[in-house]
């Protein structure tokens, strides 16, 4: 096997890993937006659990075996392109959903579309690489899923941090300059005035 062909095989494996990362990222995107979805669609925690799990996983699991059979008959590149297109359309439908039922239908469509990504991508990797290097290509493909989950978790952490910062920002203004001083009025027995530079106001004690 020539070096050019070997590098081409690794290029295909890395491209399939990128596809897998994007697919898994779309799958876990719902977990990042749980609170906005609950507020927008007025759904309960049980519905969110159903959307995250069974709405996607049941149809995805049932469709894997038929997709493997289809991958043996169809051109793999065409099947992968259709699967990616279906997953992208389903992701857009999730964003446009205005009810829990519509979101569940979009998640089911996503599960059906992504069931074809694994068989098609693995078939392309096996076809592009020799048996001696096929395991490495499959490892790269599997690593794409872990990377997709990691990116989703990072985005969730960033959004949580921004939401926390937005909540804490108004109250933090009062503690921007915590030092205060008592300024008694000269020539007067009046009560001292508490001057707080952070707020620019004075409060008579």
What's the confidence (pLDDT) of residue 174?
41
Contact 175, 198 (CB under 8 A): yes
Of 23-32, 70-79, 163-172, the range with the highest mean pLDDT is 70-79
Average pLDDT over residues 66-90: 94
pLDDT at 165: 64
Within 8 A by CB and 6+ apart from 154, the residues are none
Q: How many CB atoms lie within 10 A of CB 199?
A: 13
Instruction: Give the integer Cα–Cα distance in Å for 129 and 141.
Output: 13
d(CA 112, CA 15): 21
Domains and CATH numbers, the chain: 3-171 (1.20.1250.20)
Q: What is the pLDDT of residue 202?
A: 46
- What pLDDT, in 10s, does the model give residues 106-164? 999 999 999 999 999 999 998 888 777 778 888 888 888 888 777 777 776 776 666 66
Q: What does the block give as tokens for 164?
A: 């926390």
Reading the block at residue 184, the tokens are 């008694």
Which pLDDT value is given to residue 112?
A: 95
Q: Kindly report the pTM of this predicted structure.
A: 0.70
Q: For residue 26, give the nearest of 87, 115, 85 by alpha carbon.
A: 87
């Amino acid at each position: 096997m020539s070096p050019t062909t070997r590098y081409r095989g690794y290029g295909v494996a890395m491209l399939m890993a990128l596809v897998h990362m994007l697919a898994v990222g779309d799958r876990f995107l719902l977990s990042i937006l749980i609170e906005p979805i609950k507020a927008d669609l007025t759904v309960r925690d049980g519905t969110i659990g159903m959307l995250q799990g069974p709405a996607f996983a049941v149809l995805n699991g049932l469709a894997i075996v038929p997709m493997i059979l289809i991958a043996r008959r169809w051109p793999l590149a065409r099947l992968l392109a259709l699967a990616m297109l279906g997953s992208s359309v389903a992701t857009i439908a999730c964003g446009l959903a205005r009810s829990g039922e519509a979101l569940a239908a979009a998640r089911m469509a996503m599960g059906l579309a992504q069931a074809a990504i694994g068989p098609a991508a693995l078939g392309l990797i096996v076809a592009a690489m020799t048996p001696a290097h096929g395991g490495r290509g499959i490892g790269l493909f599997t690593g794409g899923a872990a990377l997709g989950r990691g990116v989703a978790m990072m985005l969730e952490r960033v959004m949580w941090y921004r939401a926390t910062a937005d909540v804490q920002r108004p109250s933090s203004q009062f503690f921007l300059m915590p030092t205060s001083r008592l300024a008694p009025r000269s020539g007067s027995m009046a009560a001292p005035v508490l001057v707080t530079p952070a707020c620019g106001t004075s409060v008579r004690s």
